[in-house]
Structure 1
Amino acid sequence: MSNDVEHAKRALRAELRERRGLLSEAQREAAAAAIGERLDALIDELGARSISCFLSTLSEPGTREFVTRAVRRGIRVLLPITRADGLLDWAVATDDDATTEGLYGLPEPTGEVLGPIAVNDVDLMIVPAAAVDRSGMRMGWGRGYFDKTIGSMEKCPPVYAVIYDSEILDSLPREVHDQPVDGVVTPSQTLNLSPSRR
């Protein structure tokens, strides 16, 4: 059974990765600008003063300008740093855009490294995803970092995934460790979903 689910996820991830690869630079820039505006509004709506976010790669919906803007607005932004043990360390974002290459070639912040529990103090988590279904189930890219983080938090804040509009699906293959999200932010909408499992 779980092999079938893993196979279905692998095939879906490959399709989603290919679709993202077809976007033009102009489409990516427009999507990043729209997503940034929606994330700004979400922070205001929730009154968030401290958030976690991720530094987008070229294939992901852009978050970098949003992060810089949030820092300049006085929001404390924690950025993830991957560890070999499957956990995430965190660093406080600055507005200088300095990054280094982390595990798996992902962009990571260069600031002082804080341990995994640093994220327990945020008011909002903004996470990457390959897709999210209408029940709030999130499918990541297969390494499990955010599932572990969300699943281990005693008092998890609202969690929103950043994806493209076409990546909201009716249902997703799921495994026991998969964690739902409370909502998604796309270029065209902020969609609140039901989980609130906290």
Structure 2
Amino acid sequence: MTGATDHAKRALRAELRERRQQRSEASLEADALALKEQLDRLVEAHGASSISCFLSTPTEPGTHPFIVDAVRRGIRVLLPITRSDGLLDWAVADEHGDIVEGLFGTPEPTGEVLSPSAVDEVDLLVIPAAAVDRSGMRLGWGRGYFDKTIGSMEHCPPVYAVIFDSELVDEVPSELHDQRVTGVVTPTHTVVLAPHRR
């Protein structure tokens, strides 16, 4: 990572993290319900019966209402479990599943642990992001888990990053290993940004 790019990424992440921490609880709850509607439409548009998603942290756009309802509707939802080697294991979401704190303090599911290759079978990837630019370049939170996952998939399905409206920006700092996403989902809309790659 070049020094200038690394510095630019860190500065942008810090700014975005601060903005997220200033959101009110009421705003976050309303956004979670609105996001659920957007994600429901996305799943329906792709005819997806199996997806990956993530358990949101308290300051992220809330994914919990969507996950619970998707499971109730019979959609197979894989949730990530962080590993110390930089890869993600997966677990199938369960309506009443327990949530534990993962390696980096993020919420993670309990239950049977599936290997990193389990995600190869999903119809749609829904992933976290700090920001995404208009070319589809995603800025994550700096650990590279989702870049590695997307980059290693032989047949990658459409990938959508979940962000707040203000986090769709003109440009994010990036490097060769950073992965583009197909589009973004916010509480108010879904935007396709880059053609589906594989």
- TM range, normalised to the smaller chain? over 0.9
Q: Secondary structure at the match of 2:191?
A: strand
Contact 1:20/1:59 (8 A) holds in 2: yes
CA drift at 1:197: 2.2
Give the corresponding residue for 1:110: 110
Q: Distance in 1 between matches of 2:123 and 2:113?
A: 20
> Is 1:91 the counterpart of 2:91 in the alignment?
yes
For 1:52-131, list aligned pairs within 5 A.
52-131=52-131
CA contact (8 A) 1:131 1:167 kept: yes
C-alpha displacement at 1:101, in angstroms? 1.1
Structure 2 unaligned runs (5+)? none
User: Taking every aligned residue pair, what percent have the same amino acid on both sides?
Assistant: 69
1:39 alignment counterpart: 39
Q: Which amino acid aligns with 1:16?
A: L
Deviation at residue 2 of structure 1 after TM alignment = 1.2
What's the CA shift for 1:97? Answer: 4.1
Counterpart in the other structure of 1:162: 162
The answer on whether the counterparts of 2:128 and 2:140 sit within 8 Å (CA) in structure 1 is yes
Matches within 5 A, 1:123-142: 123-142=123-142
Q: Is the 8 A contact 1:136 1:195 kept in 2?
A: no
Partners of 2:66 and 2:188 in 1: CA distance: 16
What letter matches 2:149 in structure 1?
T
For residues 44 and 81 of structure 1, what CA distance do their matches in structure 2 show?
Answer: 26
Residue 57 of structure 2 aligns with an amino acid whose one-letter code is T
CA distance in 2, matches of 1:97, 1:166: 32
Task: Provide the aligned length of Structure 1 versus Structure 2.
Answer: 198
Calculate the aligned-residue CA RMSD, in Å: 0.8
C-alpha separation in 1, matches of 2:103 and 2:122: 24
Q: Do 1:31 and 1:61's aligned partners in 2 also have CA atoms closer than 8 Å?
A: yes
Q: TM-score, normalised by structure 1?
A: 0.98
Paired amino acid for 1:188: T
Shift of 1:187: 1.1
Q: Which shifted more, 37-46 or 1-10?
A: 1-10
CA distance in 1, matches of 2:159, 2:79: 14
Secondary structure of 1:86's counterpart equals coil
Which moved further from structure 2: 97-106 or 4-13? 97-106
Code of the residue aligned with 1:87 in structure 2: it is L
The residue identity in structure 1 corresponding to 2:99 is T
Give the CA deviation at 1:196. 2.0
8 A Cα contact 2:136 2:193, kept in partner:
yes
Q: Structure 1 runs of 4+ off > 2 angstroms?
A: none
**How far apart are the structure 1 equivalents of 2:10 and 2:94?**
35
